[in-house]
Amino acid sequence: MKKKFFISFIISFLIFSLIFLEFGEDFLLGKKSTIAVDENDDELSFDNDNIIEQKVKNEILFLLMGVDSKDVKKSKGRRTDTMMLVKVNFDTGEINLLSIPRDTRVAVRGKQDKITHAHAYGGVELAMKSVRDFLNLDIDYYVKVDYQIVMDVVDEIGGVTIDVPRRMKYDDPKADPPLHIDIAKGVQTLDGKNAHDFLRWRKNNDGTGYPDGDVGRIKAQQMFMKELIKQTLKLKNIPKIPKLINTYFDNVETNIPKSAILKAAMSAKKIDLEKMVTNTIPGEGKRIDGVDYWIYYVDETEAIVHQMFSDYLLGQ
């Protein structure tokens, strides 16, 4: 029984670290927590005094932010390269994921701006406030990661095999670190560096990119995420858990309470990635005063939010 529980615990770690919901020890205040197993009991006990009451029983909603940074703990003043809302139901194992294009034009500090700038201006607090105001949702939790976690996990499991949709060739020597992307089209196994480049790629040196712009990039990221999780959960990778845990500690910042994490662990066997619901804020690209934005469709966005996150709407 204890072995079965331990495996479930490990699987939940992989699932939620790679979707970036995790059972972590590093919280926003830099506080360390302890996880202990009673040798005569099959349950985990948590030292936890950092709990925010969940809005819906046995469910959690959090904002995932991927920062454009080498180190998540030194990401102050950096933009978010990826922003997603993730809802996990611990009873059913259902996962809803809504991607927010980085160029989405919303109110940030009282004026219209790209949502990617919110974190650069005011950190986690302003990023969450901007998303709350934009989508009219009650969001308490966040998970912030850097791209290093993807590189480390991919290398540790021996690469991720995906079907790259197009040739990717882009160089930016001024980036930190410098970007030199060179990935062929077609089915191949990407190592950590190429996985990072695949996720970061937006356009080629000649200006060509995804036909549907940043929305195409989001779809590619969602596809990669599913494949990464599937391939990490292969039995051969279970012995590699310790290194993956260290990678998590080094590259994730979150305020999700351990009470929710325990429920996540217990629901791991219920999760079916084929039933994961993914969506993207609908809209169209538009240039305003020389700046490219994603102008979201108000009615369509409202309908999607109601469908995916109705229990978290403010003012009801």
Q: Which DSSP category does 79 fall into?
A: P
Q: Say what the pTM is.
A: 0.70
**Interior CA angle at 200 toward 197 and 201, to 5°?**
80
Contact 113, 292 (CB under 8 A): no
pLDDT band at 231 (very low <50, low <70, confident <90, very high): confident
Q: Is the dihedral of CA 249, 255, 259, 260 positive or negative?
A: negative
The pLDDT-based confidence of 221 (bands split at 50, 70, 90) is confident
**pLDDT higher than 50, residue 14:** no
> What domains are there in the chain, each with its CATH number?
2-312 (3.40.630.190)
pLDDT value for 198: 92
pLDDT at 135 over 60: yes
Q: Residue 253: beta bridge partners?
A: 144
Helix axes 148-156, 2-18, angle to 10 degrees: 130
What is the pLDDT, as a whole number, of residue 54?
Answer: 60
Mean pLDDT of 258-262: 64
